[in-house]
Amino acid sequence: MSEKLLEIDNLSVCFHLPEGVARAVDRLSLNIAKGETLGLVGESGCGKSVTSMSIMGLIASPPGRIESGRILFQGKNLLELNRENLRRIRGKEISMIFQEPMTSLNPVISIGRQVAEPLMIHKGLSKSEAFDEATGWLEHVKIPAAGKQLKDYPYQLSGGMLQRVMIAMAMVCRPKLLIADEPTTALDVTIQAQILALMSGLKEELGMSLLLITHDFGVIAQMATQVLVMYAGQIVEEASVTRIFDRPFHPYTQGLLKSIPQAGGRAKGRVKRLREIAGTVPALTEVIVGCKFADRCPYTFDLCRQQQPTLDRIQNGHRARCWLHEHPERGRGNV
Amino acid sequence: MTRYLVRKLITLIVLLFLVSITVFSVLFVLPGDPAEIILGMNATPETLANLRAELGLDRSFIVQYANWIGSLLTGRGSMSINYDVPVYDLILSRLAVTGPLAIFAICFAVVISLPLGIYAARHQNQPGDVIVMFFTQLGLATPEFWLGILLILLFAVKWGLFSAGGFPGWSVSFWGSAKALLLPSFALGVIRASILTRLTRSSMLEVLREDYVRTAWAKGLRERTVVYVHALKNALIPVVTILGLQMGQLMAGAIIIENVYYLPGLGRLVFQAIGQRDLPVVREIVLFMAAAVIFVNFIVDLTYAVLDPRVRLT
Ligand SMILES: Nc1ncnc2c1ncn2[C@@H]1O[C@H](COP(=O)(O)OP(=O)(O)O)[C@@H](O)[C@H]1O
Ligand SMILES: [Mg+2]
């Protein structure tokens, strides 16, 4: 493996709510190498956004609390940085784009100013220098008549265009890591493809790493090199993108893969949300003794309810959190 | 922007027209003959009729209204029955008290409420927030006249720091006059400040949860830029609306407070004019106060345009 850029080690994040303590991220570890695209997949509510917000140091506290773990970025533990030092990394070394471009840009501040802001704050550019450079970036992400759009406000642009603006804004300081949290979920299919292509292009050009969060395996297939599958705050499977599509091990991953519309099919509109696995994610406030997926798993047997499986090596670079690994005979015949 | 401005200007004019019609008709149908009031009970029917003709009171409603508006726009308006001077002059001299009183009260309310509201929102449910919320609750529950009297008792009667009321006049003593307005504008401002503090807090709380504020943090902006630029600019929009709506109540409050503090302002003038059945004075002051409220709301509309591009550009 090449050089590590980001290393999360044993991260646990809890939310202290009136109804109990919700363990949104449970002892999660992951690595992102320089130039790599890591895909983080899972149903909604399984802790993907909380993971990304922990990296940015933006977990609302209270009610959130990081209970344990380290987040090493270029060897520095982000969790130990003071607020000012963390602020200098945000938007400069690590940038983020979000799911809803329509609500993620400030409605009363001009596009130009919003894109130029990181340059003024992190690079100390003057207003006019920053606006010049912002124009360049808006052209770069293929916004027509970029110079004119500087004075426009978000309500004047379409969702796809706004996501391009978000990308430009995230890129201006040439970050080493881009976190994209469901960047295309809110967009039409045709626009989705354009935005993904734009992101791949920029990633190659800047040599940055990408943490791509999605619940859409189609997006994963197109973008990622390495995949993590998350369920109820935990990593349940980890493999390369080819391996995950060829030989998914965890019943949850298999379920997710079955529920996507056939590739090349005439699926119009958005790829369907991954809701087709029977049952729902358990409440995060619940204390579950065994495997968190046991209630929804077609292969569940007694051990699954007694003890939580560990993330075990299936093969080189392929790991899964499932007792079937030690009891392969239980996986046959069923379903 | 131009279209927005023109639309708002037209609204302003139409509103002024409607208000003037309303004020005029209400006082028109009200019992009480100005000629009778001027001449007293013992006047002969003949002299009464003569005076009516002289004042134009025998004309139709439309003609009287038109004459009135005409006199307002061109000349000096009607004459006060009681003081025998043009109502314009009366209003101008009294405005020198009520104007500063209202402006002090609003400035005080804004200066207090914005920082407090932002602070409370930033420290939601923490001790500071709870204390701020307690005092705004207290402020809301305290009637203006009662607070006014309480302040007089404490600051004037007990500690002797202020005079208990009255107004020396700006030309006599500038600082003395400013000092005389201090307690009444505080009494008038407290309710406004309480309302605006709570509103700023809730508006700010809502905005701080917005996605674009998360984006602002994620960009690595400084806390003060996130709070005072990205969040506040959005949070101010509802605050400005309510500030405009407060103007009417401020006028009503001024009438009461001026009477508590013996301030020779518009409120006291209109109060006395009603007692003396000085109808021209009542009519013109009510119109003036309504016009002031309408005008302030016009300014509020312009402020929207500054704050919100969706208003400015469409
Ligand atoms: N601000 C918050 N307050 C309380 N609970 C939260 C908050 N943010 C996230 N959570 C909890 O964390 C869980 C995971 O959320 P999230 O990471 O947003 O899921 P997703 O995988 O869809 O991005 C949620 O189900 C919720 O219980
Ligand atoms: Mg999410």
Pocket of ligand 1 (CB under 6 A): A 15, 17, 22, 24, 42, 44-50, 60, 63, 284
Confidence of residue B130 (pLDDT cuts 50, 70, 90): very high
CA of A47 to the centre of ligand 1 (A): 6
CB distance from B305 to chain A under 8 Å? Answer: no
B234: nearest CA partner in chain A: A108
Q: Could you say which of A224, A244, A279 is where a domain stops?
A: A224
pLDDT score of B58: 78
**Average pLDDT for chain B:** 89
Residues of A with CB under 8 A from a CB of B: 56, 58, 87-92, 95-96, 98, 100, 103-110, 117-118, 121-122, 153, 155-156, 166, 169
% of chain A at pLDDT higher than 70? 93
Backbone angles phi, psi at A48, to 5 degrees: -65, -50
Question: Each residue of B223-263: pLDDT tens digit?
Answer: 999 999 999 999 999 999 888 888 888 888 998 999 999 99
- Cα of A274 vs centre of ligand 2, distance in Å, is 13
Model pLDDT, residue A261: 62
Neighboring chain A residues of B215 at a CB cutoff of 8 Å: 98, 104-106, 166
Ligand 1, atom 24: nearest CA belongs to which residue? A45
**pLDDT surpasses 70 at B296:** yes
One domain for residues A219 and A263: no
Q: Does B206 touch chain A (CB under 8 A)?
A: no
Task: Note whether residue A247 is domain-resident.
Answer: no
Of the pLDDT bands very low, low, confident and very high (cuts 50, 70, 90), residue A332 is low
How remote is the C-alpha of A175 from its chain's centroid?
A: 16
Which of A56, A91, A104 lies closest to B211 in CB terms? Answer: A104
- Type of residue at A153: Y
Look up the ipTM and state it.
0.90
Question: Looking at CA atoms only, how far is residue A276 from chain B in angstroms?
Answer: 29
Same domain, A42 and A174: yes
Residues A52 and A128 in one domain: yes
- List pLDDT tens digits, range A58-77: 998 888 999 999 999 998 99
Residue A234: inside a domain, yes or no?
no
Distances (CA, A) of B187 to B102, B135, B256: 11, 14, 11
pLDDT at B2 over 90: no
Q: Which residues of chain A does B217 touch, with a Cβ-Cβ cutoff of 8 Å?
A: 56, 58, 90
A29 and A72 part of one domain:
yes
- The pLDDT assigned to B76 comes to 67
Query: Does position B107 have pLDDT exceeding 90, yes or no?
Result: yes
Closest CB to A92 among B214, B220, B233: B220
Residue A214 contacts by C-beta under 8 Å, 6 or more apart in sequence?
A: A39, A40, A41, A182, A183, A184, A185, A220
Question: Are B222 and A87 an interchain contact pair (Cβ–Cβ within 8 Å)?
Answer: yes
| Strands A76-77 and A64-73, sheet pairing | antiparallel
A238 in any annotated domain: no
Residues of A with Cβ-Cβ distance to B205 under 8 angstroms: none
> Which stretches within B142-264 are classed as H helix?
144-151, 174-208, 211-218, 223-225, 232-260
For residue B200, the Cα-to-chain-centroid distance in whole angstroms is 20
In chain A, the DSSP E strands lie at 4-17, 20-33, 37-41, 64-73, 76-77, 94-97, 177-181, 209-214, 226-231, 234-240, 311-315, 318-321
Q: pLDDT class for A47, splitting at 50, 70, 90?
A: very high
Residue A323 domain flag: yes
Residues A61 and A142 in one domain: yes
Q: How far is A192 from chain B (nearest CA, A)?
A: 20
Which range of residues forms the domain containing residue A307? 254-330
Q: Let me know if residue A239 belongs to a domain.
A: no
Nearest-atom number in ligand 1 for the CA of A59 is 1
| A258-272, A273-287, B176-190, B204-218: least confident range | A258-272
3-state class of B280 per DSSP?
helix
User: Beta strand pairing status for A37-41 and A177-181?
Assistant: unpaired
Q: Is pLDDT at A165 greater than 50 in this prediction?
A: yes
Indicate whether A206 and A76 sit together in one domain.
Answer: yes
CA of A234 to the centre of ligand 1 (A): 13
| Interface residue of A83, A98, A106 to substitute, partner B, most B CBs within 10 Å | A106
Calculate how far, in angstroms, residue A278's C-alpha sits from the geometric centre of ligand 2: 21
| Ordered structural domains, chain B, with CATH | 2-73 (no CATH), 87-313 (1.10.3720.10)
How remote is the CA of residue A321 from the centroid of ligand 2, in Å?
A: 22
Cα(B187)–Cα(B143) distance, rounded to whole angstroms? 9
Do A183 and A309 lie in one domain? The reply is no
| Closest approach of A194 to chain B, Cα-based (Å) | 22
- Any idea what the CATH number is for the domain that residue A104 is in? 3.40.50.300
Q: Is the pLDDT of residue B11 over 70?
A: yes
Q: Where are the alpha helices (DSSP H) in B45-143?
A: 45-55, 61-74, 87-122, 127-141
Residue A10 lies inside a defined structural domain of this protein: yes
The reply to whether A296 and A216 lie within a common domain is no
Same domain for A215 and A260? no
Q: A12 C-alpha to center of ligand 1: Å?
A: 13
Residue range A197-248, pLDDT digits in tens: 999 999 999 999 999 999 889 899 999 999 999 999 999 999 999 999 999 9
Backbone angles phi, psi at A278, to 5 degrees: -60, 145
**Distance in angstroms (rounded) separating the CA atoms of residues B268 and B255:** 6
Mean pLDDT of B176-205: 94
Q: Which residue reads 């726009």 in tokens?
A: B73
| Tokens found for residue A331 | 């996986």
Q: How many domains does chain A divide into?
A: 2
Contact check, Cβ <8 Å, B220/A98: no
Name the pLDDT band for B38 (thresholds 50, 70, 90).
confident
Atom of ligand 1 nearest to the CA of A22: 27
**From residue B148, how far is each of B142, B181, B255 by CA, in Å?**
10, 12, 12
More confident residue, B232 or B28: B232
Which residues of chain B are within 8 Å of residue A56 when distances are taken between CB atoms?
Answer: 217-218
Q: Let me know how long chain B is.
A: 314
Whether residue A241 is contained in a domain is answered as no
Taking an 8 Å cut-off on Cβ atoms, the answer to whether B225 and A121 are in contact is yes
Residues A176 and A308 in one domain: no
Report the gap between the CA of B219 and the closest CA in chain A (Å).
Answer: 4
Nearest to B309 among A100, A121, A153 (CB): A153
Contact A88 B220 (CB under 8 A): yes
The chain-wide mean pLDDT, for chain A, equals: 88
| Interface touch A98/B214, C-beta < 8 Å | yes
**Within a domain: residue A167?**
yes
Q: Do A15 and A135 reside in the same domain of the chain?
A: yes
Number of helices (H), then strands (E), in chain A: 12, 12
Structure tokens given for B47:
């002299």
User: Does A175 lie in the same domain as A270?
Assistant: no
Q: Which of A175, A202, A224 is the last residue of a domain?
A: A224
Q: Which ligand is nearest to the CA of A42?
A: 1
What pLDDT was estimated at residue A263? 47
